[in-house]
Amino acid sequence: MSSPDGTAPPDRPDGTAAGQDQPRIEDLVHEEAGPIPKFGGLAEEHAEHEAEEAAEVMTESGPESKASAAGTSGAPPSGPGKELDLGPVGHLGDRLFSGLARGSGGLVILIVAFVGIFLLALAIPSLADDKSSFLFSRIWEPGGDQPRFGIAALFYTTVISSIIAMLIAVPIAIGVALFITYYSPKRLAQPVAYAVDLLAAVPSIIYGLWGILFFAPILGPVIDGLSSALGWIPLFEKPPGDNVGVVFTASVVLAIMILPVVTAISREIFQQTPIAHREGALALGATKWEMIRMAVLPYGRSGVVSASMLGLGRALGETVAVLIILSVPNGQDPWNSSIFAGGETFASKIANNAAEFDSPEKTGAYIAAGLVLFVVTFLVNSAARIIVDRSTPGNKRPRRNRRAGASTATEGAKS
């Protein structure tokens, strides 16, 4: 950056005289003298406050962030070298503004840290009272003298429904992305992209209503077919009773909901495939599909995997659509691992029982469940992020053409 970075800390001795350092600037940009000092003045206490908080977080979170704090907040008071760079532009407004900007950055870190800390703080007392194993029990009876609750069943339903959703959505999303980037007529590409984005604009409660009222009935035959063919696997065993409001239905609706996310990211990656790769493939005599398999898919592989992870994260946390679709199993029934049975996910359980948040113990149990969901989505999203970071275009790209291309879809789905 050509600009003076690392503005001085607030306790710089000449801070009070800063106003006099800038006569020319006021002449240059005269009309703005009015509103902006006001803005700075208003923001002053916020900036200080937020900067303080940011500093706190950074020192809290280990040596790595400490180093970074020193790196960004400019030279510490003892660093005269930086101050020389600053010269006459070490402006009061500059310091306030950079403080505000840094504060906002710090605030973001703070918010995420707070989400974790507060959820943990409120979950711990309830977890300590829990009379059954929190991680491995399938019972959910918080409150009362002998609170017993565990997340095993919730965890199972959440993960299985999201993974099935991803298995369905990712191949279709790759197809749609390829259609938009390489197959559709030029004029159609943009409207089609908009239309897919439109899917993302439909609120989730509407997906839920549509899913249970209109979509679930036509899925009935599919469920019957799958269960009669694969019924010997417990996962596909169809329990007696109707098959409306089962995990599988929720998964298909979730797949529709995450489709635009996965499509949008895959599309961008596919578009960036270097022209040289594509033309090279075609020059060697490849058909269009072979070009896609040899040049486009290997190039976009990591992008598609990370897009799938982001889609998975969405599906894990989706609340209302799942809440509406899934039928809550009767308390007396034995727990059923089949995807053709009802169930509850973390999110639907919490939302369904919002009315039960009357005592801290009960609330704590639900907050503990929310915390697990937070951790799971955190891990999934971090994985997506790491995959993206590790394979930014220009780094080593996998060149195993055929295998890489052919396995893209399945790999994306498994991880």
Within 182-221, which residues bind other proteins (CB under 8 A)? 182-184, 186, 189-190, 192, 194-199, 201-207, 209-210, 213-215
161 touching other proteins, by CB under 8 A: no
The one among 172, 220, 329, 361 contacting other proteins by CB under 8 A: 172
Mutual orientation of helices 297-317 and 401-414 as an angle, nearest 10°?
Answer: 0
Is residue 378 close enough to count as binding other proteins by CB under 8 A? yes
Smallest separation (angstroms) from other proteins to the CB of 299: 13
Contact 8, 86 (CB under 8 A): yes
Residue 247 CA to residue 168 CA, distance in Å, equals 14
Site for other proteins contains 307 (CB under 8 A) = no
Distance of CA 72 to the CA centre of its chain: 26
4 binds other proteins (CB under 8 A): yes
Name the segment binding other proteins (CB under 8 A); options: 57-65, 126-134, 233-241, 391-399.
Answer: 57-65
Binding mask 330-359 for other proteins (x = CB under 8 A): ----------------xx--xx--x--x--
**How far is residue 307's CA from residue 381's CA, in Å, rounded to a whole number?**
10
Q: Which is nearer to other proteins, 57 or 338 (CB)?
A: 57
Nearer to other proteins, 338 or 377 (CB): 377
Closer residue to other proteins (CB): 381 or 415: 381
Q: Residue 129 Cβ, how far from other proteins at the closest point, in Å?
A: 16
Binding region for other proteins (CB under 8 A) out of 144-152, 327-335, 382-390, 402-410:
382-390
Could you say which of 53, 290, 356, 361 contacts other proteins (CB under 8 A)?
290
Out of 165, 246, 247, 380, name the contact with other proteins by CB under 8 A: 380
16-45 residues near other proteins, rule: CB under 8 A: 22, 24-25, 28-29, 32, 36
CA neighbours within 13 Å on the CB side: how many for 102?
Answer: 28
Is residue 367 a contact residue for other proteins (CB under 8 A)? yes
When asked if residue 362 is in the footprint of other proteins (CB under 8 A), the reply is no
User: How far is Cα 341 from Cα 332, in angstroms, rounded to an integer?
Assistant: 14
Q: Which of 223, 246, 265, 373 binds other proteins (CB under 8 A)?
A: 373
E-state strands within 279-337? none
Q: Can you spell out the DSSP letters for 135-187?
A: TT---EE-SSSS-EE--HHHHHHHHHHHHHHHHHHHHHHHHHHHIIIIIS-HH
What does the alpha-carbon distance between residue 198 and residue 184 come to, in Å, rounded to a whole number?
18
Residue 355, CA distances (Å) to 204, 299, 363, 387 in order: 21, 49, 10, 40
Residue 317 within binding range of other proteins, rule CB under 8 A: yes
Tell me the CA distances in angstroms from 338 to 148, 161, 233, 346, 415, one per residue in order.
24, 11, 9, 18, 22
Cα–Cα dist 320/338, whole Å:
22
Q: Does 415 bind other proteins (CB under 8 A)?
A: no
Shortest CB 273 distance to other proteins, Å: 9
Token digits for 295? Answer: 């040049």
Can you give the C-alpha Rg of the chain in angstroms?
27
- The C-alpha atoms of residue 184 and residue 228 are separated, in whole angstroms, by 38
Q: How many residues bind other proteins (CB under 8 A)?
A: 127
Contacts for 408 with CB less than 8 Å, ≥ 6 apart:
174, 297, 298, 300, 301, 304
Residue 276 as a binder of other proteins (CB under 8 A): the answer is: no
Site residues for other proteins, window 88-147 (CB under 8 A)?
A: 89, 91, 93-94, 96-98, 100-109, 111-112, 114-115, 118-119, 121-122
Among 8, 164, 174, 326, binds other proteins (CB under 8 A): 174
Of 131-139, 147-155, 314-322, 392-400: span binding other proteins (CB under 8 A): 314-322
